[in-house]
């Protein structure tokens, strides 16, 4: 499993990926993954911020600023 993948995982996804790797008979050092994930999570948190649009909250990269809603529909918000 690539360590870069862990930068973008939330906890439920991380649990699924550990189970997925174990399903392929690969040995996974869960303590190493958990420690690395906790360290990586703080790095990722510094790159994102939350913005509210209507009744929805989005977490986006800090490089995307001054976001303005254009419209919304059955499939989501633009």
Q: What is the pLDDT of residues 49-74, one digit of tens each?
A: 888 888 888 888 999 888 888 888 88
Average pLDDT, the chain: 68
**20 and 7 within one domain:** yes
State the average pLDDT over residues 7-22: 49
Answer yes or no: do 41 and 54 share one domain. Answer: no
For residue 66, give its domain range.
Answer: 48-77
Distance CA 57, CA 20 (A): 30
What is the DSSP secondary structure assignment for residue 52, as one 8-state letter? E
> Looking at the structure, do residues 24 and 54 belong to the same domain, yes or no?
no
Phi-psi region of 27 (alpha: psi -120 to 50; beta: other; left: phi over 0): beta
State if pTM tops 0.85.
no
């Amino acid at each position: 499993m690539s360590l870069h993948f862990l930068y973008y995982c939330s906890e439920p996804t991380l649990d699924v990926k550990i189970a997925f790797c174990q399903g392929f008979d690969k040995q996974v050092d869960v303590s190493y993954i958990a420690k690395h994930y906790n360290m990586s999570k703080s790095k990722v948190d510094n790159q994102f911020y939350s913005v509210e649009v209507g009744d929805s909250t989005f977490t986006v990269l800090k490089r995307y600023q001054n976001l303005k809603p254009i419209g919304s529909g059955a499939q989501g918000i633009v």
